[in-house]
Structure 1
Amino acid sequence: MTRRGLFAPALGAVVASVAAACSPLGVLNAVGPRDPGVRRVARDLDYGEDPRQRFDIYAPGSAGRGSPLPVLVFFYGGGWDSGSKDLYGWAAQALAARGFVVAIADYRLVPEVLFPDFIEDAAAATARVAEVAAQYSGDPARLGVLGHSAGAHLAMMITLDRRYMAAVGQPDLIKAAAGLAGPYDFLPFDVASSINAFGQAPDPEQTQPLHFARADAPPLWLGHGTADVIVHEEDTRLLEARMLELGGRCEAKLYPGLSHEDLIATFSPLFRKKAPVLADVSGFFHHRLGQVAGGG
């Protein structure tokens, strides 16, 4: 990444008062309050043999008492070399409380794996979630993916590059996708996280979501904070512009004053009043996945 620093290990302003030894965002898993009426309905379901190829599922308490709910698969960030689903239950709970069955997936990390293994994991996890969603009152025909930071990169890659979902036998599974503070155009690789994850790629362009923008992609929603110095808002602006130039469906929203960590931290009740990010993301998915259900 030339123009933008990526995944520097800094503590965001939203959690600066919490113990510095904790994960900047994962600490929210230990700090209340939580969204009520949501429960984890499955833990450590597998989509592969590696211990990190596991996912959890969260659902609202009302699940099973009406029509099946739309399904979301969430990928956390961490520079492709860190992170755990056990630290982000609060984010999955927030989405589930808004009427979704939500899976949060671990994936293999650098240096144990390199590109494209972690993206292949994201595709495999998404396909496996669809296979089991009905058991937890989810509708796999209305499935979306989303992520924050490196997780947004995963979500956009499996949505835009047709090869990943085709390789797991589900080329048309993803009906909508959202990215929060995602890196979509970061060539050449010039910081440790991108060099370590992608530096061995024979064709670097194949690592970039922007390269795969297409008119017939599922609808995209992109969010970014204007105070983000980890992944600058330029990435979101570039992907939105390219999608619209090609005739694709894409909407982007910039949130004044929000940092890289702030953007996803607003999913927590502690920081929700800072910006309506959760409401905007939920509204996008209800609109787009509702259209799928209605044949629109």
Structure 2
Amino acid sequence: MINNVEALSYSSVALLTLPSQVGSVKAPTEFLPRLAVSEAHLLREKTMIRIALRITVAVGLSALLLGCSPLKFLNFLTPGGTCNKAYDLKYGNDPRNRLDVYTPVNLATDVPVVVFFYGGSWSSGSRSDYGFVGEALAARGIVAVIADYRLYPQVHYQGFLEDSARAIGWTREHIRQYGGDPARLYVMGHSAGGYNAAMVALDPQWLAAVDMEPSMLSGWIGLAGPYDFLPVENPAVRPIFFFPNSPPDSQPINHVGAKSPPALLIAARDDTLVNPERNTGGMARRLREQGVPVRELYFSKPGHGTLIAAFSRPMRWLAPVLDEVVAFIHGQGLASEISHD
């Protein structure tokens, strides 16, 4: 539930180990006499790729040292022309009730739709930082909606859940204008945003306010989300949930039922910010107890912040997070199972 920018900044130090993941750079000339020309060419290309990766890491770290958000750096590395964008669409009356829509370039009609909520401990964050998520989904033939929502101290937890439901209601009403199919609607969130996604998918009261119900969602996707975290330990988060009188009703895990939508739950295996065993594992177990299809995945390379960064093109080597999300949305990942890389 830590601020995502901070988490990603901390995790960016791990990028220094990137060459060890893909192999160290060596001059290929000492091997050339023993290689065919084609093999030598292939080795030279691999070497250049590794050098390029090191340069990317160096540039990224330099950006961090100069005060550039690592998320903005990932957006900078995201190519243009791979999707269409509609910015600053209003879904409510508050200045933070705005969203952006990312659509495929070669848009077919009635394609699936994902509404994404970012994290930031419910006290920071901006949809503009997550353009790489919208681009990644749109490039795979999915309409992506990325929404801002009100934050603490402007509101407590009920306020940002109201906004999350409003954003979903707006999407269901208007998304056909952007080629999306409201009957193939998914909600996804990372970290604190995973909480938002879980609550609107599991607790009927939030979608009821926009004349919807959870059964209208085709599924929900939680990325390192907190679903069972009472008593609240983070001092910055405690007032958001009225600590020490945090209501049990505020916990997603307490709203799981037999009619809950199918779920894809992904976490970093060694996440030290949101306990993956208690939150992702506990939620998956509760869903299975109710007979709800759930796919549960744990990846070893990304951390809490870099789990969402794995959507970006430069960071996809960390884990196939995007592939799993796309497969789930296209109906290939509904078998109830658990997997570790």
TM value normalised by structure 1: 0.89
Residues 185-238 of structure 1: CA deviation (Å, up to 9, x unaligned): 100012123203112696521111111111211100000011211112121000
Shift of 1:33: 3.6
Count of residues in Structure 1 that have an aligned counterpart in Structure 2:
281
User: Are 1:204 and 2:225 matched, yes or no?
Assistant: no
CA shift for structure 1 position 45: 1.1
Q: Contact between 2:228 and 2:252, CA under 8 Å: does it hold in 1?
A: yes
Is 1:12 equivalent to 2:24 in the alignment?
no
Counterpart of 2:47?
none
What is the deviation of 1:35?
Answer: 6.9
Give the C-alpha shift of residue 51 in structure 1: 0.6
| Equivalent residue number for residue 262 of structure 1 | 306
Other-structure match for 1:3: none
Superposed displacement of residue 151, structure 1: 0.6
Give the counterpart of 2:297 among 243, 248, 253.
253
Letter in 2 for 1:140: P
Quote the Cα distance in structure 2 between the aligned partners of 1:250 and 1:62: 31
Among candidates 181, 204, 208, match of residue 166 of structure 1: 208
Structure with more contact order per residue of length (Cα contacts < 8 Å, sep ≥ 6): 1
Whether 1:285 and 2:329 are equivalent positions in the alignment is: yes
Alpha-carbon distance in 1 for matches of 2:98, 2:251: 25
Aligned equivalents of 1:282, 1:237: Cα separation in 2: 21
Deviation at 1:173, TM superposition (A): 2.6
Distance, in Å, in 2 between the alignment partners of 1:221 and 1:167 is: 25
| 3-state SS in 2 of match to 1:108 | coil
Structure 2: 5+ residue stretches without partners: 16-60, 335-341
- List aligned pairs for 1:113-124, cutoff 5 A: 113-124=155-166
Residue 180 of structure 1: which of 223, 245, 263 is its match?
223
The structure with more radius of gyration: 2
What is the match of residue 46 of structure 1?
90
Judge conservation of contact 2:162–2:206 (CA < 8 Å) in 1: yes
Contact 2:223 2:265 in 1 (8 A): yes
Alignment of 1:61-72 (within 5 A): 61-63=105-107, 66-72=108-114
Map Cα deviations across residues 8-39 of structure 1 (whole Å, 9 max, x no partner): 64423236624153334343223x14375212
Question: Do 2:324 and 2:333's aligned partners in 1 also have CA atoms closer than 8 Å?
Answer: no
Instruction: Report the more deviating stretch, 103-112 or 189-198.
Output: 189-198
Tell me what 2:318 maps to: 274
Residue pair 1:226, 1:233 contacting (<8 A) in 2 also: yes
Distance 1:106 1:196, change over 3 A: same
Which of the pair is proportionally richer in helix? Answer: 2
How far apart are the structure 2 equivalents of 1:224 and 1:215?
23
| One-letter amino acid matched to 2:11 | A
CA contact (8 A) 2:232 2:243 kept: no
Aligned mate of 2:288, from 234, 244, 260: 244
Root-mean-square deviation (CA, aligned residues, Å) is: 2.0
Residues 1:201 and 1:141: Cα distance change in structure 2 (over 3 Å): farther
For residues 201 and 105 of structure 1, the distance between their equivalents in structure 2, rounded to whole angstroms, comes to 30
Mapping for residues 20-99 of structure 1, pairs under 5 Å: 20=65, 21-30=67-76, 32-34=77-79, 36-40=81-85, 42-63=86-107, 66-99=108-141
Structure 1 residue 175 displacement after superposition: 1.5
Shift of 1:122: 0.2
Q: How far has the Cα of 1:274 moved from its partner?
A: 1.5
Unpaired stretches in structure 1, ≥5 consecutive residues: 1-5, 291-296
Match of 2:263 in 1: 220
Separation in 2 of the partners of 1:60 and 1:159?
A: 25
1:111 pairs, out of 153, 158, 176, with 153
Worse-matched range after superposition: 14-23 or 130-139: 14-23
Q: Following the alignment from structure 2 to structure 1, what is the Cα–Cα distance between the partners of residues 283 and 310? A: 23
Which secondary structure does the structure 1 equivalent of 2:99 belong to?
Answer: strand
Partner residue, 2:274: 231
Partner Cα distance (2:202, 2:94) in 1: 26
Q: Which has the higher mean CA deviation after the structures are superposed, 198-207 or 68-77?
A: 198-207
Alignment match, 1:145: 187
| Distance (Å, rounded) in 2 between the aligned partners of 1:275 and 1:109 | 30
The answer to whether the 8 A contact 2:230-2:246 is kept is no
Aligned to 2:311, the other structure's residue is in SS state coil
Specify the code of the residue in structure 2 equivalent to 1:23: S
> Sequence identity, in percent?
41
Mapped to 1, the partners of 2:133 and 2:142 lie a distance apart of: 12
Q: Secondary structure at the match of 1:252?
A: strand
* Equivalent residue for 2:236, pick from 180, 193, 211: 193
